[in-house]
C-alpha cells in the first residue's frame, strides 16, 4: 500500500537562517469571559477539598436580561459577545454568542461560538449545546442530564466523564449573584466539555475572585456582576477583559491584533554555532519552573529561569509528570495509515517507526496558522493545520502503532524576521525503548532539535488541548530572554 500525502508539500522549510514561523500553540479564546481564563501560575489546587459538592441556591425568580460585551486582550479589541436569559415554562434559557477576530502571523482567524443552556427553575442545568466554527469544520457539542448524571458528546465523540453535579461555567455568574462564596465542579462546553472545580470568594460589592482548578493548573479571574446578577466585567492577569457595553459600541470596526508576535518572548544575542546544547536566561517570570521534561532542564533564579536545552536530555522523574495523561483514542482508519507508513519507510526498530510517523505528518499536514483544527480527525480530513494539528495527527498515528505518546505545550526557539524569539508551540514526546524523547512532527524531527522549552504535558483530546493553553503560559507575560554562555 502506497501512502500519499494529501497536504501541500511545497511550503517553506526551516533553515539555519530566518524562517517563516510555522509554530504557535493555539490561541483558544472561546466560551465564558472570552473563554480565555488566564492562569495564576499555581501548579496545585488550593487547600480546599478536591471536589466538593456544590450547594444549590434557593429558588427565587431571576429577571430576564440581554447584554453585549466588548472583548479585549492587552487593551486591543478582539471581538464581541451577546448573552440573554429568558424565562421558559420549564425554567430558563441562557444563550451566548461570541465572535473573536485575531491574526496569527499573516493569517486572519475568526472564531464563532454559540451556546444554549436550558435551566430548570432552580438554575440547575438540564441540557447544553455548543457550536464552534471558523475556517475548519463546524464542531458541535451536546450534553444532557440523565438520572445517573451527564451524557455528553463533542465533535461526534463521547466527552467526559462529567461529575453529576457539574454546572456549565457560563451559569456561574447566576450562582454568584445568589451566593458569592461558591464551590463545586464545573464543565467547560467550549473546551470539549473539559471539567474542573471552581472556588470563589467575595471581593467587594457584587464581585468575586474565581479560581478554576484544572489538571494542568489554576485559572483565576475577577468577576463583577450588575445588580440583576448578570456579568458586568471580567478581568484576568494575562490582559484579557470582557466588559459590558452598549450594543453599538461593540459594532465598531477594529484591527485584530497579531497574537503570535505579541505572545512571543524576544531573545537577545545569538545561539552557539554548535547548537547541541543551548542555554538561555529568561527574566521577568513569575511562574515556577516547569516539571522535568525530555530535552530540557529549567532551574529557578532570582527573577526568572536558567534554561538548558539539549537533544535527548531527560530527567529520571519525568514519568511522574506523564503518568496521568493518556493519549486518547485514535481516529478510525489511523491504524491502516500508520501501518502503511511504517511499511513504506522500511522501519525496522521502534525509533525508525517514530521517525517515519513524524516525517509523514510533516509532509501530510500543510502549514496553515489560520486553521482552527484541534482534533486529529479534523486534521486528517483537512490535510492542513498548525502545530496543534501536526501534534494531534502524530499522536493518533503513534497510538495506532501502540507507541506511548503525550503532547507538550511550550515554546520553540525560532529565528524570525524580527530576531530570535521563543514562539508558542506544540509538539510530542514518545516513549522509545523505555526512554521518552521529544518529537516535533511540525518539522519532521525525531528526536527533535534542542530548541524546545516545554511548559505543560497533556493528552491529545480536544478538551486537553483547549484548556492547557490557558494555563501553560501563566506568569510569562512580559518575559524577556537572552542566550547564556556555557
Cβ-count burial 302-330 (b if 16+ within 10 Å, e if not)? eebbebbbbbebbbeebeebbeebbbbeb
Query: What's the pLDDT tens digit per position in 177-212?
Result: 888 888 999 999 988 888 889 999 999 888 999 998
192 with 287, same domain? no
Determine what percent of the chain is predicted with pLDDT higher than 70: 80
Over the stretch 399-425, which tens digit does the pLDDT of each residue have? Answer: 999 999 999 999 999 999 889 999 999
What is the rounded distance in angstroms from the CA atom of residue 266 to the CA atom of residue 284? 12
Q: What is the CATH number of the domain that holds 391?
A: 3.10.620.30
Across the range 281-310, mean pLDDT stands at 91
Integer Cα distance of 252 and 243 in angstroms? 15
- Is 33 a member of any domain? no
Same domain, yes or no: 287 and 374: yes
Output the pLDDT for position 141.
93
Q: What are the angstrom distances between the C-alpha of 341 and each of 345, 353, 364?
A: 6, 8, 11
Mean pLDDT score, 96-114: 88
pLDDT computed for residue 1 by the predictor: 46
Q: Would the pLDDT of 2 be above 50?
A: no
H or E segment to which residue 322 belongs:
helix 318-322
Q: How many CB atoms lie within 10 A of CB 227?
A: 10
Per-position DSSP letters for 40-101, written without gaps between them: -S-SS--SS-SSPPPPPPPP-----EEEEEEEEETTEEEEEEEEEEEE-SSEEEEEEEEEEE
Q: What end-to-end distance do the CA atoms of the chain give, in Å?
A: 49
Q: Read off the pLDDT band of 30 (50, 70, 90).
A: very low
- pLDDT at res. 136: 66
User: How many structural domains is the chain composed of?
Assistant: 2
CA distance 331 to 247: 43
Sign of the four-CA dihedral 440, 443, 446, 452: negative
Residue 60 has pLDDT above 80, yes or no: no
pLDDT digits (tens, 9 = 90+) for 106-156: 778 888 999 999 999 999 999 999 998 876 678 899 999 999 999 999 888
Say whether both 317 and 420 belong to one domain.
yes
134 in a domain, yes or no? yes
The model's pTM = 0.76
Nearest to 22 by CA among 312, 309, 415: 415
Measured CA to CA in angstroms, residue 250 lies from 69, 109, 259, 328 at distances of 7, 18, 20, 40
Cβ proximity of 81 and 4 under 8 Å: no
Count CB neighbours of 86 within 10 A: 11
Which of 203, 228, 251 lies at the terminal end of a domain, its last residue?
251
Residue identified by cell 453599538 is 248
Q: In which domain, by residue range, is 461 found?
A: 264-483
In a domain, 50, yes or no: no
Task: Output the nine-digit C-alpha cell for 111.
Answer: 472564531
User: What's the gap between Cα 435 and its chain centre?
Assistant: 26
Assess whether 321 and 438 both reside in one domain.
Answer: yes
Q: What is the pLDDT of residue 49?
A: 39
pLDDT of residue 330: 62
| 216 and 336 housed in the same domain | no
C-alpha cell recorded at residue 295: 530535552
How high does pLDDT run on average in the chain?
Answer: 81
Amino acid at each position: 500500500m502506497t501512502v500519499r500525502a494529501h497536504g501541500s508539500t511545497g511550503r517553506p522549510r526551516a533553515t539555519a537562517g530566518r524562517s517563516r514561523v510555522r509554530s504557535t500553540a493555539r490561541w483558544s479564546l472561546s466560551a465564558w469571559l472570552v473563554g480565555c481564563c488566564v492562569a495564576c501560575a499555581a501548579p496545585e489546587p488550593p487547600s480546599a477539598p478536591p471536589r466538593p459538592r456544590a450547594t444549590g441556591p434557593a429558588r427565587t425568580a431571576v429577571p430576564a436580561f440581554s447584554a453585549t460585551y466588548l472583548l479585549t486582550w492587552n487593551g486591543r479589541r478582539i471581538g464581541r459577545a451577546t448573552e440573554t436569559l429568558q424565562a421558559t415554562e420549564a425554567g430558563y434559557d441562557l444563550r451566548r454568542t461570541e465572535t473573536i477576530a485575531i491574526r496569527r502571523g499573516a493569517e486572519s482567524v475568526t472564531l464563532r461560538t454559540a451556546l444554549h443552556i436550558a435551566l430548570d427553575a432552580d438554575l440547575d442545568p438540564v441540557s447544553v449545546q455548543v457550536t464552534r466554527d471558523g475556517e475548519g469544520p463546524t464542531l458541535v457539542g451536546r450534553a444532557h442530564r440523565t438520572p445517573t448524571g451527564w451524557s455528553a458528546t463533542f465533535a461526534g465523540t463521547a466527552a467526559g466523564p462529567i461529575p453529576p453535579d457539574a454546572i456549565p461555567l457560563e451559569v456561574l455568574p447566576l450562582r454568584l449573584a445568589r451566593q458569592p462564596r461558591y464551590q463545586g465542579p464545573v464543565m467547560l462546553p467550549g473546551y470539549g466539555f473539559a471539567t474542573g472545580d471552581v472556588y470563589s470568594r467575595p471581593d467587594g460589592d457584587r464581585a468575586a475572585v474565581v479560581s478554576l482548578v484544572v489538571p494542568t493548573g489554576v485559572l483565576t479571574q475577577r468577576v463583577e456582576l450588575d445588580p440583576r446578577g448578570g456579568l458586568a466585567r471580567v478581568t484576568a492577569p494575562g490582559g484579557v477583559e470582557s466588559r459590558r457595553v452598549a450594543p453599538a459600541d461593540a459594532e465598531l470596526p477594529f484591527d485584530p491584533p497579531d497574537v503570535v508576535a505579541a505572545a512571543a518572548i524576544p531573545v537577545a544575542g545569538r545561539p552557539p554555532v554548535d547548537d547541541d546544547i543551548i542555554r538561555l536566561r529568561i527574566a521577568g517570570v513569575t511562574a515556577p519552573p516547569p516539571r522535568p521534561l525530555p530535552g530540557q532542564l529549567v532551574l529557578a533564579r532570582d527573577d526568572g529561569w536558567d534554561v538548558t536545552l539539549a537533544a535527548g536530555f531527560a530527567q529520571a522523574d519525568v514519568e511522574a509528570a506523564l503518568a496521568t495523561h493518556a493519549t486518547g483514542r485514535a481516529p478510525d482508519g489511523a491504524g491502516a495509515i500508520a501501518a502503511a507508513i511504517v511499511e513504506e519507510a522500511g522501519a525496522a526498530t521502534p525509533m525508525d517507526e517514530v521517525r517515519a510517523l513524524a516525517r509523514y505528518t510533516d509532509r501530510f499536514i500543510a502549514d496553515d496558522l489560520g486553521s482552527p483544527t484541534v482534533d486529529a480527525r479534523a486534521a486528517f480530513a483537512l490535510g492542513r493545520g498548525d502545530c496543534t494539528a501536526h501534534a494531534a495527527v502524530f499522536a493518533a498515528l503513534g497510538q495506532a502503532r501502540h507507541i506511548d505518546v503525550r503532547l507538550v505545550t511550550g515554546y520553540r526557539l525560532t529565528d524570525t524576521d524580527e530576531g530570535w524569539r521563543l514562539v508558542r508551540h506544540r509538539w510530542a514526546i514518545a516513549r522509545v525503548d523505555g526512554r521518552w524523547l521529544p518529537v516535533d512532527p511540525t518539522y519532521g524531527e525525531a528526536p527533535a532539535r534542542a530548541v524546545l522549552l516545554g511548559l505543560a504535558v497533556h493528552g491529545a483530546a480536544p478538551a486537553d488541548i483547549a484548556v492547557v493553553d490557558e494555563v501553560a503560559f501563566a506568569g510569562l507575560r512580559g518575559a524577556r530572554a537572552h542566550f547564556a554562555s556555557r
